[in-house]
């Protein structure tokens, strides 16, 4: 089974965000203007929004927290199952977690031209795509026919 991820662009959504990236790679993103508070407790960080939503993460589960992160229009990465693909805005390295070892991964530009490919050697993969052209890319994980 192949899993595809599409980087989508929406210019009206550009801005500054709080981005929490847990070890799983699944990102939690909130516009800075929507953040009520960030609480750094003894064992966890909690992000509270103006709408009353809260997300908490134990420090051991957090890979990184970006405060004031700017987006360049690439906002959504979707993948099925337990596969995570990050970051949303890639400058050099694309991270993929949750695919079985030996799973093929290919990155294509919007014309369908392959720009990078590899196979996972464990349940995570760091794929160098710094030579890929700027723009929208499609990530395919699994058997590609």
pLDDT band, residue 55 (cuts 50/70/90)? very high
The answer to whether 76 and 139 have CB atoms below 8 angstroms apart is no
Q: How many domains are contained in the chain?
A: 1
Domain that holds residue 133: 3-141
- Total Cβ atoms within 10 A of residue 116: 17
pLDDT band, residue 51 (cuts 50/70/90)? very high
pLDDT of residue 113 exceeding 50: yes
- Model confidence, pTM: 0.47
Average pLDDT over residues 51-76: 75
pLDDT of residue 37 exceeding 50: yes
Average pLDDT over residues 111-139: 84
Distance CA 28, CA 35 (A): 12
pLDDT of residue 110 exceeding 80: no
Six-digit token pair at 99?
Answer: 């695919």
Residue 45: burial class (beta carbons within 10 Å; 0-12, 13-18, 19+): middle
Place of tokens 């420090």: 59
Selected residue with higher pLDDT from 25 and 61: 61
Place of tokens 């979707």: 78
Query: In the prediction, which pLDDT does 8 show?
Result: 36
Six-digit token pair at 125?
Answer: 């993969």
Query: In the prediction, which pLDDT does 11 show?
Result: 33
Distance CA 59, CA 37 (A): 17
Query: In the prediction, which pLDDT does 118 show?
Result: 92
pLDDT of residue 54 exceeding 90: yes
């Amino acid at each position: 089974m192949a899993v595809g991820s599409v980087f989508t662009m929406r210019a009206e959504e550009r801005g500054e965000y709080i981005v929490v990236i847990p070890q799983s790679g699944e990102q939690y993103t909130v516009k800075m203007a929507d953040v009520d508070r960030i609480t750094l407790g003894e064992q966890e960080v909690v992000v509270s929004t103006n709408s009353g939503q809260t997300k908490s993460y134990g420090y051991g589960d957090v890979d990184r927290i970006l405060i004031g992160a700017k987006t360049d229009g690439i906002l959504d990465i979707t993948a099925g199952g337990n596969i995570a693909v990050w970051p949303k805005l890639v400058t050099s390295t694309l991270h993929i977690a949750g695919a079985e070892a030996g799973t093929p991964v290919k990155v294509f530009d919007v014309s369908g031209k392959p720009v990078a490919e590899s196979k996972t050697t464990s349940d995570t993969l760091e794929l160098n795509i710094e030579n890929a052209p700027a723009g929208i890319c499609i990530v395919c994980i699994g058997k590609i026919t």
